[in-house]
Structure 1
Amino acid sequence: MSRVGKRPVVVPSGVTATVEGQTVKMKGPKGQLQFVVHDDVEVKFESGAVKVAPKFKTNRAQAMYGTARAQVANLVEGVTKGFEKKLEITGVGYRAAMQGKNLQLALGYSHDVVYAIPEGITIAVPKPTEITISGTDSQRVGQVAAEIRAYRPPEPYKGKGVKYANEFIFRKEGKKK
């Protein structure tokens, strides 16, 4: 039984929530988001809060209603505060720069990697070795960060590559004679 799913998601002032069938829509100062809840989950909007409950006593319904509650909470946080991920670039000559609506990355390849920024995502480069990705949708912000990191994941010997700001890279010792 989910403990997360039992708590209702309180909708703060300034945010409009509507529940139409299995679709939950949130509209706030940062924009508008929606999420389609799984069929095994029942969702209701009562007294300023969105409540989620399983429709059946199956294992799948029990698992999905905690997930659905977390997704609805992410909608509320997205339209009020938004989400942000920070990436750090480590390595000699490795750098990032904005080039119009694209992110240009020099990651040690023979060519620069040009990443087209998707709609609804904002990328800032405060320093050539830092990238800040922000947006309203948690999943899309994380996906963009993962795609940028995948161009050159950090390697364990020198720590070169693109890593999350809070990520710990387990370092290995090199070869011995």
Structure 2
Amino acid sequence: MKSSRIGRIPIPLNNVHVNAGDPFQVTGPLGVLTLTVPSVIKIKLYQTMIKVTPVFSNQRASAIQGTVRTLISNMVAGVTVGFRKVLVLNGVGFRVSIRNNILTLSLGYSHPIIYCVNRNIKLHLISPSELEVFGVDKQLVGQTSADIKRFHPIEPYKGKGIRFINETVNLKERTKKK
């Protein structure tokens, strides 16, 4: 059985400190991230790179090797440059404001929506209708963005709602009266 193609690629280390104990820990200029590595995976630490190898030669270990290698690569990228997602609010009167990591959204409902954000996530207002979600944990940034987007999904006829900045919206054509 071969090892995973992605799992075989070494992870370059630049400006990070790695502790290969249990749990696996990566420290960089933006923060610290930890990962519990499964027992079927062995991590080899070199001066300028990390290699992830399976202990056994079976399909399950190969699949986990690729997953763990990607998770560690995302950890290294997160503590060095971080991850960001930009959300755009489209609609008349759609606004967003931030105070003490509490997000207040005005989305055309009869009440404002209040959302408490995880302390590991930083929010920046680009404009009253654009919001940047930034953090070192890729999964947490994506989940927070998806939670905010879920408050008002894109409506397919007028395009109103919350979307990612690079997301394209295919508008439907209205039915015409005969």
Match of 1:46 in 2: 46
Q: Do the aligned partners of 2:101 and 2:119 also contact (CA within 8 Å) in 1?
A: no
Structure 1, unaligned runs of 5 or more: none
Match of 2:25 in 1: 25
Q: RMSD value over aligned CA atoms?
A: 1.3
How big is the shift at 1:37? 1.9
Match of 2:122 in 1: 122
Measure the CA separation in 2 of the matches of 1:39 and 1:167: 39
Counterpart AA for 1:136: V
Show CA shifts across 1:50-81 (max 9, x none): 11012222222111111111110111111111
How big is the shift at 1:18? 1.2
Paired positions, count:
175
Measure the CA separation in 1 of the matches of 2:27 and 2:10: 18
* 2:169 is equivalent to residue 174 of structure 1: no
Match of 1:142 in 2: 142
Counterpart AA for 1:69: R
Measure the CA separation in 2 of the matches of 1:56 and 1:155: 49
Which stretch shifts more, 135-144 or 1-10? 1-10
How big is the shift at 1:101? 2.6
* 2:67 is equivalent to residue 67 of structure 1: yes
Measure the CA separation in 2 of the matches of 1:171 and 1:57: 49
1:126 aligns to what SS in structure 2?
Answer: strand
2:64 aligns to what SS in structure 1?
Answer: helix
Match of 2:4 in 1: 2
Structure 2, unaligned runs of 5 or more: none
Measure the CA separation in 2 of the matches of 1:11 and 1:19: 13
Measure the CA separation in 2 of the matches of 1:113 and 1:74: 32
1:62 aligns to what SS in structure 2?
Answer: helix
How big is the shift at 1:48? 2.7
Q: TM-score, normalised by structure 1?
A: 0.93
- 1:77-92 to structure 2, matched below 5 A, reads 77-92=77-92
Match of 1:153 in 2: 153
Q: Do the aligned partners of 2:11 and 2:50 also contact (CA within 8 Å) in 1?
A: yes
Q: Do the aligned partners of 2:89 and 2:130 also contact (CA within 8 Å) in 1?
A: yes
Which stretch shifts more, 116-125 or 36-45? 36-45
Measure the CA separation in 2 of the matches of 1:40 and 1:167: 38
Counterpart AA for 1:163: R
Match of 2:96 in 1: 96
Q: TM-score, normalised by structure 2?
A: 0.93
Q: Do the aligned partners of 2:103 and 2:116 also contact (CA within 8 Å) in 1?
A: yes
Q: Do the aligned partners of 1:18 and 1:45 also contact (CA within 8 Å) in 2?
A: no
